Amino acid sequence: MKCCVLVFVALIAFSCFLPEGSCSLQRMNSFNEITKVLGFSWGNCKSGDAAYMKTLNASPDPIPIPGYLTADASGTTSVELASPLSVNVTLEREVAGVWVKIPCIDDLGSCHYPDICELLDQLIPPGQDCPEPLHTYGLPCHCPFKAGDYTLPSSQFYIPNVELPSWLTNGQYKVQGVLGSSDKELGCLKMSFSLHSNNLQRAIRIAVL
């Protein structure tokens, strides 16, 4: 989350595009092949949720991997987001004009994460400063997230090469993440994008906190 509440900001997929350290990306050696993420778009699933994204911008298009990404985001929550805070992710790929749901494989795909607060504590030990640029802008990286507005100004991030599973190949994808607590939906974010790489075995790894 891999930026937390705004978090939810990029809740999933895009969360991988945010600060190094807040996303479970695995560094790899440099490769000549470059993966491109094209046509990234997003939206709230519906209006009226307690937590929702107000803005989310990323450039360039296509986004090169490895390469640099410039992103900014803003979100708000009318309620405190505290543990246990679950995320349900649904990942689909277009196959011959039909959207096919990708099952949860090794914690990737259409997975349920019962408490992202615990995952954040594992990624960033309590007491340790939040990774940049969260630290600079005073953005939290641990639960609870107080009710209010959160803003990440335009910042640049380096996206390293990452190893991807064989089933994550060139194609069109869409992902939906539902944030919840005590069986109550607090927010929902949806995204779509396409992947293109000279090497079908290499692309961006969609990791949710």
Q: What is the CATH number of the domain that holds 34?
A: 2.70.220.10
Calculate mean pLDDT across residues 156-168: 74
Average the pLDDT over 175-202 and give the result: 82
Residue 2 in domain: no
Question: Is residue 203 in some structural domain?
Answer: no
Helix (H) or strand (E) holding 116: helix 116-123
Structural domain total, the chain: 1
Structural domain boundaries, residue 128: 13-196
Q: Mind listing the pLDDT tens digit for each residue in 45-94? A: 988 899 999 999 989 999 888 888 888 989 999 999 999 999 999 999 99
Q: Please tell me whether residue 24 adopts helix, strand or coil conformation.
A: coil
Q: How far apart are CA 124 and CA 6, in angstroms?
A: 17
Dump strand ranges (E) for 14-66.
35-44, 51-59, 63-65
Give the residue among 139, 106, 118 at the shortest CA–CA distance from 26: 106
In a domain, 202, yes or no: no
Assigned domain for 3 exists: no
pLDDT, mean of residues 152-160:
86
Residue 6 located in a structural domain: no
Is the distance from CB of 132 to CB of 152 less than 8 angstroms? no
Question: Which phi and psi (to 5°) does residue 87 adopt?
Answer: -135, 125
Query: Which candidate, 143, 162, 22, places its Cα nearest to that of 11?
Result: 22
Q: What mean pLDDT do residues 173-178 have? A: 91
Helix (H) or strand (E) holding 181: strand 171-181
Q: Which DSSP helix (H) or strand (E) runs through 192?
A: strand 184-196
Answer yes or no: is 1 within a domain. no
Query: 205 lies in a domain?
Result: no
